[in-house]
A and B are shown apart, each in its own frame.
Chain A
């Protein structure tokens, strides 16, 4: 699995985004045990300190919890995950919709365009 980062945004934030994306998509299951900081850093090819910072932040946001001896786990809190899902969906849509509005599409046109495209996917 190749993690891809750009250099303009802080790397730790990009790592957090990727972890959240994996939680949402189910690649990381609720309650699943996470690999060690070292292993994750190796996989993502980032500095272990940066990975540590990202995991700490994600933990602070309640999506990860640690057990003293056995490492870090994805939260079991289904509601939290659902919240994350809907917040992320909302954000992605807002970005898309404001872009479309800027391009001149109206609020009524947009849903039709979307359903057409999804229908054909």
Chain B
């Protein structure tokens, strides 16, 4: 059990807009963490900082004790909200690509999951429906044996049956040396599998605690707490 993510006085601004303000947060390994907050709260900014897609304006962000860089990218597996696989590629192509660049990629597991979801590896991404594209991306991300998984809205565009499959995949992939951060609006659907909850508003950390602890103390579900904290 170590610190998989640590933010020290982390700030990020885009010109005049301050997306994250003096964020101090430590997340342990072996946990499934919900990153919750309204649109524009800074969730995606935090995730992009953890992946190395953005650089901090001030402060530090450490992954597994290292500053974000080439080495951390090798142990972080990121699922963005959008499709990032080149459309001309087939599923086989992108799997070869991942095998080439990520030592921790588990090829057999990927093919196994594709089979379970009835996705033909020889299909081109271009020809797939939105839902199928998302499933392929999720399979790629979860087939890595990473230390930190960053899932940005993994279940938003997917049908309820696939949602169950996705959550099962997250659970069965559980590894005490790794953590999964799930950023989502659909709190009701995923809150039962969360260990910890992090709530962000206007770039500030509002709440950080264990999911069951919160339920015990406040006598409500995380979803209800969210609605209370972020009441319009």
Contacts and interface: CB of A to CB of B under 8 A. Distances in A.
Contacts of B193: 45-47, 50
Interface string B106-123: 000000000000000000
Given A47-B174, A47-B193, A49-B31, A8 B219 contact: yes
Task: Kindly state the interface size class of chain A when it binds its partner.
Answer: 10 to 19
Interface in A40-91: 41-42, 45-50, 53
* Chain B interface, DSSP helix/strand/loop, else mixed: helix
Interface in A2-17: 5-13
Interface residues of B, number: 26
Interface string B170-189: 01101000000000000010
A7 B168 contact: no
B213 to A, nearest CB: 8
B224 interface: yes
A11 B174 contact: no
Contact of A49 (B30, B191, B215): B30
A13 B219 CA distance: 13
B223 A46 contact: no
Interface centre among B168, B174, B192, B221 (most CB of A within 10 A): B192
Interface of A: 5-13, 38, 41-42, 45-50, 53
